[in-house]
Chain A
Amino acid sequence: MYSFDWAVFWKYLWPVTALQDPLIRSGLIVTVAVSIIAQLLGVILGLFAALGKMSKIGPLKVLAEAYIWYFRGTPLLVQMMLLFFGLGVTHIYNFPDIHLGAIMISGAIQAGTLALAINEGAYMAEIVRAGIEAIDPGQLEAAKSLGMPYSLSMRRIILPQAAKVIIPPLGNEFNNMMKTTSIMTVISAAELFFAFTQVNARLFQPFELFIAASFYYLALTTIWSFVQSWIESSLGERKSVVHTPGFLQRVFTFKGVH
């Protein structure tokens, strides 16, 4: 009979005590930081991949399509292992630790963030493309007729409008991203889930600890849904045609991991 250890449970559930454990504290910071950085990089990659895919220039189009095809078509886990260990053993790139003052960014965290970003870019590409394609072609024609070249039209006319279409799914991507960072455990990057597995290796109380772990992810994604609703409603104030689901609908709508 498994004896539930309430002391361990409360210690790791209650943030004040849990965050006293340096493993958990730095794990949480890493998860949040990696999520934000990987998502930002993913958006940038996605933007270029989307423009590449829509480009009339053959090689660019092929490159973008190959990128999207591969990274959406293979498991993130495999991509991450390939990037970290594959590049390591072949000595293409070893991901040395980086020291920024007092902060050390391990090679595993770098590789993990990069893999998450590249994977995310492939998904963002489709979201960005859908956003751009949702804009009335008359907008680009009007911009062209005013003598605006393609890049200027994109920057000033199309993308600002597409952003409104892109932001709701982007918010959902970020929700996913925060949870998906836990995959970095396989390359021993010290994020939140890895921290809990480390504590578990010491205490061997998996039931208590992983309930506590899920609480932290739930807290992150819930806080994010508030932020997301706020962003979308403040965007919506300036007359938007985009339907934005309400907060409750968002919290209770689940979406699978890539």
Chain B
Amino acid sequence: MTVSLIAPPTTVIDDDVIVKFDHVNKFYGSMHVLNDICLEVKKNEALVIIGPSGSGKSTLLRSINHLEKINSGHIYVNGRMIGYYEKNGRLYEDNEKNIAVQRASIGMVFQRFNLFPHLTAIENIMEAPLNVLKLSRENATAEAERLLQRVGLSEKRDSYPNQLSGGQQQRIAIARALAMKPGLMLFDEPTSALDPEMIGEVLDVMKELAHEMTMIVVSHEMGFARAVADRMIFVDEGRIIEYSTPEELYTHPREARTKEFLSKILH
């Protein structure tokens, strides 16, 4: 038996840490989009990320399910490194199958919904449970109907995405992600493509979810952050500038950059 200097990734992390960033760096050419990110998100925690445009919020979020590659450091989800495996101190990109398996337990909701336009609402929700989880059609249908009810869209069961409003599309997208029974949900500015009158209906669904799962949300909706966030981070130029509670961050920001940013978004 050889002794490894590197502890196997599964033992590094407490059970209740769902996401861990360990000195993560990413570059686009010479631009440092993720700069030495260290972060832990605990089970059932809601983390809200804010920061200026181009600061790396989406990149940070998308690296959690390996939609973005990283250049160094480690990201662990549910105690397992995602996207890479380590051999002799070097990282190698994992194969596609393994990555897919890990992604199946991480839900993601996009700014522009990305519903499948050729499928109806219920088909969108059932697609992955049927073909990835291999649920029976009966079970998948029952589960999808339950989720439709949960997001308040039972009557839109057979509508195509282009027959739905933005708010409805986003609620279907949330239901689609939930159908995989993820323990972790990622939201990338889920309401910023919506007309103001539709923002509330989406946030309401998210607020309810916050009670039962871990979520990481990029959003500048202060009301939402104050209501559900356990922790917040302010990101600027690829760095976590400030990590605190919503109360602290909004009322007593420690860093000058945070103050400056907040004064811009809060007028």
Contacts and interface: CB of A to CB of B under 8 A. Distances in A.
Interface of A: 136, 138-139, 141-150, 152, 156-157, 160-161, 238-239
B58 to A, nearest CB: 11
Given A146-B104, A146-B132, A157 B112 contact: no
Contacts of A160: 118
Contact of A152 (B112, B131, B160, B162): B131
Nearest to B132: A147
Interface string B159-181: 01011000000000100110010
B132 A144 contact: no
B231 interface: no
Given A147-B180, A149-B96, A156 B103 contact: no
Given A146-B127, A156-B127, A239-B160, A138 B117 contact: no
A161 B117 contact: yes
Contact of A144 (B97, B100, B112): B100
A148 B162 contact: no
Contacts of B162: 239
B127 A161 contact: no
Contacts of A148: 100, 127-128, 131-132
Contact of A145 (B97, B118, B177): B177
Contacts of A146: 103-104, 127-128, 132, 176-177, 180
B98 to A, nearest CB: 10
B114 A139 contact: yes
Contact of B131 (A142, A156, A239): A156
A146 B100 CA distance: 8
Contacts of B67: 141, 144-145
B97 A149 contact: yes
B65 interface: yes
B100 A149 contact: yes
Contacts of B173: 142
25 contacts: A136-B114, A139-B114, A141-B67, A142-B110, A142-B114, A143-B116, A144-B67, A144-B100, A145-B67, A145-B106, A145-B108, A145-B177, A146-B127, A146-B176, A146-B177, A147-B132, A147-B180, A148-B100, A148-B127, A148-B131, A152-B132, A156-B131, A157-B127, A238-B118, A239-B117
B190 interface: no
Given A145-B65, A149-B100, A138 B114 contact: yes
A142 B118 CA distance: 14
